[in-house]
Amino acid sequence: MKTLTLLRHAKSGWDDPVARDFDRPLNAKGKRAAAMVGRHMRSLGLVFDHAIASPAVRVSETLEQIESGYGRTIAPDLDRRVYLASAATLLDVVHGFPAEAESALLVGHNPGLEDLVLMLVADGADPLRDAVEDKYPTASIAELQFEGDWASIATGTARLTRFIRPRDLDPTLGPDAD
């Protein structure tokens, strides 16, 4: 069984005067949320034998904070295709994961990550899927499991086993006006 964990970058700073969206950094709340999610990942004993991430600044900064809480280096391969990718493009990336990888991490952006979960997990009476469909907030992780190999993953073939939002770990990390 293969496990795919999807991590959306943490909350970024829209007030930062960067010239390109690609260069937008995290804000203070995003840094705090990512570190907390990293600590939670460590407490769950999550491990990855393959990782791919968008090269955007907010993703790199998210990973730095995740690693500080997680207590280990993730060191993903950076893949420009993941930056603001559609679900179809993300699925193409997943199809290319090494066959020997059992547990992989994909770090990127919405709406692609949310759409990928909704594509891969069949619609039905699943409260976790419903929560993803409602909103896939920044710094949230979704864990999906599949039978078979990475290349055979297709629409409706996944089971969503976890969906963890920062506000589930600390209510102060929930929605606000910042």
In order, the DSSP letters of 109-168 are -TTHHHHHHHHHBPSSS-HHHHHHHH---TT-EEEEEESS-GGG--TT-BEEEEEE-HHH
Exposure string for 34-59, b = 16+ CB within 10 A, e = fewer: bbbbbbbbeeeebebebbbbbebbbb
Name the residue ranges covered by the structural domains of the chain: 2-172
Closest CA to 76 of 60, 94, 53, 95: 53
Strand (E) or helix (H) holding 162: strand 159-164
d(CA 14, CA 32): 17
**What backbone torsions phi and psi does residue 163 show, to the nearest 5 degrees?**
-145, 110
Strand (E) or helix (H) holding 91: helix 87-95
d(CA 31, CA 119): 29
CB atoms within 10 A of CB 31: 20
pLDDT of residue 87: 98
pLDDT of residue 178: 40
Instruction: Please give the chain's pLDDT, 178 residues, in tens.
Output: 999 999 999 999 877 676 788 999 999 999 999 999 999 999 999 999 999 999 999 999 999 999 999 999 999 999 999 999 999 999 999 999 999 999 999 999 999 999 999 999 999 878 999 999 999 999 999 999 999 999 999 999 999 999 999 999 999 888 754 4
To the question of pTM greater than 0.85 for the whole model, the response is yes
DSSP code of residue 20: S
pLDDT tens by residue, 6-56: 999 999 987 767 678 899 999 999 999 999 999 999 999 999 999 999 999
Share of the chain above pLDDT 90, in %: 89
d(CA 143, CA 165): 12
Query: In Å, what is the CA distance from 7 to each residue of 94, 105, 158?
Result: 14, 7, 16
Closest CA to 110 of 1, 9, 3: 9
Residue 61 has which token pair?
């900064």
Q: Which fold has domain 2-172?
A: Rossmann fold (3.40.50)
Share of the chain above pLDDT 70, in %: 97
